[in-house]
Amino acid sequence: MHVIEAYDLTKRFGNLVAVDHVSFTVEESEIFGFLGPNGAGKTTTINMLTTLLNPTEGSAKVGGFDVEKQDGKVRETVGLVPQDITVDDDLTGMENMMLQAKLYHVPTKVAKERIAEALALVGLTDAANRRVETYSGGMRKRLELAEGLIHHPKVLFLDEPTLGLDVQTRVVIWEYIKKLRDEQKITMFLTTHYMEEADILCDRIAIIDQGKIVALDTPQNLKDGLGGDIIELEFNRKMDDQTETLKSLPQVKDVKKIGDIYRIKVLKGEKALPKMMEDMLKMNLRIGRVSLVKPTLDQVYLEYTGRSLRETQGETEDVWRRMRTLRRVRE
């Protein structure tokens, strides 16, 4: 049985189509990732799957329950670790956890055991009785993660779980997430705009761009699907579009021009590059800068969307929210 099924899931806000006919399934104890820039529709998808928003079109089931018609059942099945830090600063870590347990009807006695267990898992046992105000950003995020586990959800939704955290803390959180999946067999749906994170954590990745899924596969298959290495080159001066000339070279499989940079797909880049350079010199094309890139998810993303993840801009609301989260994390 699929734990999450989405069919043509669509959400419109006025004229804006935030999520556009998205379909996918997630299997039990799989870590499934939504990778995309700000404003691509990742959070909106999570909000629909966790019953915070109704889909405009299409349908989705989580744990076998319809997100619209059986929203109560869905809420009992899922846990959500939101992008915002929502733990209450004025309460202690323990009080936050107890409140969460009450909201999920976990009996006090069971709750105490589970809280101890969850806090140990995220390494916050010692800080449990301190006010959250005194926590660092990473600790807050970990507390948020622990809260999501208190009722032993079948499916855990993680919206940008490591947004704004430093590298060490991110690695720690990745380990927790993997441990959870391995030990508790929890199915995870996570969104991220960090390539690395998607690559390390996810069993399968959907690349989402402007509300649409543009690719969906395992990280390895996505990388293999690039069909070779990428040579990025720039000429030493402005000149007319040389795409066709480059395509005529024997080693070249495909060429894409992004700004002044040509992305050339070749097999065995190390061997192809020197020969190509010789040929280009004969044609009086002088190279200003060249690099050989082995396939990464970054390349996959660029390949499918024609844009680098770093340069994409989200809508204002999203950027604002992100900045606030970053600010709170860094406090």
Partner 1 sequence: MIAETIALTRREVKKWMKNPFLLFMMFIQPVVWLGLFGKALNLTSLVSVPPDLLAQLPPQFRDQVPVLLNRMISETFGGTADYFTYMAAGMLSVIVLFTAMFSGMSIVWDRRFGFLNKLLVAPIPRGSIVLAKVGSSVIRGMFQVLLVFSIAFAFGLQVGDAFGILDLFGMLTALFLLSLGLSSMFLAIAIRIKSHETVVAVANLLNLPLMFASNALFPIKQMPEWLQTVARVSPISYASDAVRAFILHSSAGLDAAKVATDFQFLIGFALIFSLAGILVARTGLRKG
In terms of C-beta density within 10 A (0-12 exposed, 13-18 middle, 19 or more buried), how is residue 94 classed?
middle
Which residues neighbour 58 within 8 Å (Cβ) at sequence distance 6 or greater? 6, 7, 8, 9, 10, 21, 22, 23
Q: How far is the CB of 137 from partner 1 (least distance, A)?
A: 15
Q: x-or-dash pattern for partner 1, window 240-269, by CB under 8 A?
A: ------------------------------
Residues forming beta bridges with residue 157, ordered by sequence position:
80, 189
Footprint of partner 1 on 129-158 (CB under 8 A): 131
Q: How far is the CB of 298 from partner 1 (least distance, A)?
A: 30
Q: Which is nearer to partner 1, 54 or 218 (CB)?
A: 54
Residues forming beta bridges with residue 80, ordered by sequence position:
157
Q: 280-303 burial, b if ≥16 CB within 10 A, otherwise e?
A: beeeebeeeebeeeebbbbbbbbb
The binder of partner 1 chosen from 28, 57, 66, 95 (CB under 8 A): 95
Q: How far is the CB of 320 from partner 1 (least distance, A)?
A: 11
In terms of C-beta density within 10 A (0-12 exposed, 13-18 middle, 19 or more buried), how is residue 122 classed?
buried
Beta-carbon count within 10 A of 76 CB = 15
List the Cα angle 147/194/34 in 5-degree steps.
70
For residue 97, the surrounding DSSP H or E stretch is: helix 93-103
The binder of partner 1 chosen from 19, 53, 139, 266 (CB under 8 A): 53
Question: What does the block give as tokens for 105?
Answer: 């009807």
Q: Which is nearer to partner 1, 131 or 212 (CB)?
A: 131
327 binds partner 1 (CB under 8 A): no
Q: How far is the CB of 53 from partner 1 (least distance, A)?
A: 5
80 binds partner 1 (CB under 8 A): yes
Q: How far is the CB of 84 from partner 1 (least distance, A)?
A: 3
Q: How far is the CB of 194 from partner 1 (least distance, A)?
A: 20
17 binds partner 1 (CB under 8 A): no
| Nearest in space to 190 (alpha carbons), one of 155, 158, 164 | 158
The binder of partner 1 chosen from 17, 91, 249, 277 (CB under 8 A): 91
**How many chain residues interact with partner 1 (CB under 8 A)?**
28
Stretch that binds partner 1, among 29-37, 58-66, 79-87, 135-143 (CB under 8 A): 79-87
Distance CA 200, CA 253 (A): 29
The binder of partner 1 chosen from 82, 137, 138, 269 (CB under 8 A): 82
Stretch that binds partner 1, among 51-59, 116-124, 186-194, 258-266 (CB under 8 A): 51-59
